[in-house]
Amino acid sequence: MYSDTYHDSGDNYVEICWYEPYDKGTPISSYTIYLENSDWDFIEDTDLCDGSDADVISDQCCTFSLDALHEDPYYWEGGDEMYWAVVATNAEGDSDWTYSDDYILIYSKEAGPTGITVDEYDEDSVTISWDATTSMGGADVEEFYLYVYNDSGSQTWEFEDSVIAAGSYTYTFEGLNAGDEYYFKVTSNTDYYESYDSNSVF
């Protein structure tokens, strides 16, 4: 069997897949998925993957949210490694348990960057910086997102720009309106999650 984690359009998923066992000429009628929890017990999954679904039987794959693995009954945290197992059922009965050859690395959403400060400013620009952040919830930080809030204008948080996380922990907001009051914040981003917001500064 094999497993993989991937992301799509900002949402976060786990995909687990397995090879169809020899069925002795009798079609597989369902699969039962067992996911390991943080106490290393295998729990029969009854919510995330319907092993009797025709597509699951045909594809030998299930897809579900990473978020679910942080909750009851699994309670995994970012950076943890989870194994899983599958049992096939047909008219002949149940197969032996087949355990995953590899683990699913659990990723998580965590707090945003800290230490955000205003370093320089003039009438139409502000330069901010924040503490170095290289990883979040088991994955490398790939980039930072910058947001701006004009309290004298739109009064909504607006995406400004992204900065590649390669030793760059500063950004200059330009083209600001003199006399307006602005707030600024930063988030960390991995291939799987955008962090919670940093504190804002103005």
Confidence of residue 147 (pLDDT cuts 50, 70, 90): very high
Q: What is the pTM of this model?
A: 0.69
The reported pLDDT for the residue numbered 11 is: 57
Q: Is the pLDDT of residue 10 over 50?
A: no
DSSP 55-100: HHHHHTEEEEEGGGGGSTTT---TT-EE-EEEEEEETTEEPPPEE-
The reported pLDDT for the residue numbered 18 is: 87
Confidence of residue 19 (pLDDT cuts 50, 70, 90): confident
What would the two tokens of residue 87 be? 């049992």
If one compares 200 and 94, the residue with the highest pLDDT of the two is 94
- Distance, CA of 23 to CA of 12 (rounded, Å): 33
Q: Is the pLDDT of residue 7 over 50?
A: no
Alpha-carbon distances, residue 35 vs 50, 80, 81, 104, 193 (angstroms): 13, 13, 11, 10, 22
Q: Is the pLDDT of residue 31 over 90?
A: yes
List domains and CATH numbers for the chain: 2-105 (2.60.40.10), 117-189 (2.60.40.10)
Mean pLDDT computed over 2-15: 55
